[in-house]
Amino acid sequence: MSVEVSVVVPVMNEEENVRPLLEEIVAALQHESFEVLFVDDCSKDSTVSVLENAKAEFPMLRCLYHGQNCGQSSAVRTGVHRAQGTLVVVLDGDGQNDPADIPVLLNAFRHPEAPNNLGMVAGERRKRHDNWRKRMASRVGNGIRRSILRDNAKDAGCGLKVLSRTVFMELPYFDHMHRFMSALILRHGYEIIYVSVNHRPRVHGQSKYGVIDRMRKSITDLWGVRWLRRRCRLPIDVTEI
């Protein structure tokens, strides 16, 4: 059966979250031709076992496993490369992104008045359910990133996105590139639509990122992405003769 939508969920040590999240994704996409790819980034708990046990009940589920920990961007890349759909949905595996928002993003991508060169529809969280330190760090980081990259993304940390698989395959890969998707997609001449989405508290497990560690890495990557954007030269028109 052909698949139009591939949902990619990067996870690590999310044994209590993956099953409820899978059920919500399936419920949200019941009218779609879809598959769900959970990409486990070398979990040390029973995340893989929970997913394997769910495969008999959910035939659309595919489970990919990294033999060594490579990070969230690598897990997203693995999922998109293995995806069969023309449209890819990416969301975090901690349950804080609401799968009920997926159809909203898909409708925005498919809207008749959407730009012809639309590359991605990205979520922007309406109300963050994180502690004040994370919210403040995110606000400062987003402001710095927008001023340097001019990508107009108010919430680059939102994990919920719908994008063309073809567009993703054109993007340069590097660790933490998932935080700079907007800038990279604009770099290739595509447009982006931002849609307000729900955000939920984390119920189980622990965050994999510390505030200081995330800011330090983001600042380093920021200048690399700025360099990539400045060095990009792409033809406006290509004619076959």
Q: How far is CA 24 from the centre of its chain?
A: 17
**pLDDT at residue 236 greater than cutoff 60:** yes
**pLDDT at residue 78 greater than cutoff 70:** yes
Q: Check residue 221 and give its pLDDT.
A: 81
Q: Check residue 141 and give its pLDDT.
A: 66
Residue 44 makes CB contacts below 8 A (sequence gap 6+) with: 13
For residue 59, what are its two tokens? 């035939």
The pair phi, psi for residue 121, each rounded to 5°, is: -115, 120
Mean pLDDT of all residues in 71-75: 95
Q: Check residue 135 and give its pLDDT.
A: 64
Predicted structure pTM score: 0.85
Q: Which comes out higher in pLDDT, residue 187 or 103?
A: 103
> Could you tell me the domains of the chain?
5-230 (3.90.550.10)
Mean pLDDT of all residues in 111-125: 95
- pLDDT tens across 122-178, in order? 999 887 666 666 666 666 666 676 667 777 777 878 999 999 999 999 999 988 888
Beta strands in the chain (DSSP E): 5-11, 34-40, 61-65, 87-90, 118-125, 161-164, 191-197
Mean pLDDT of all residues in 226-239: 77
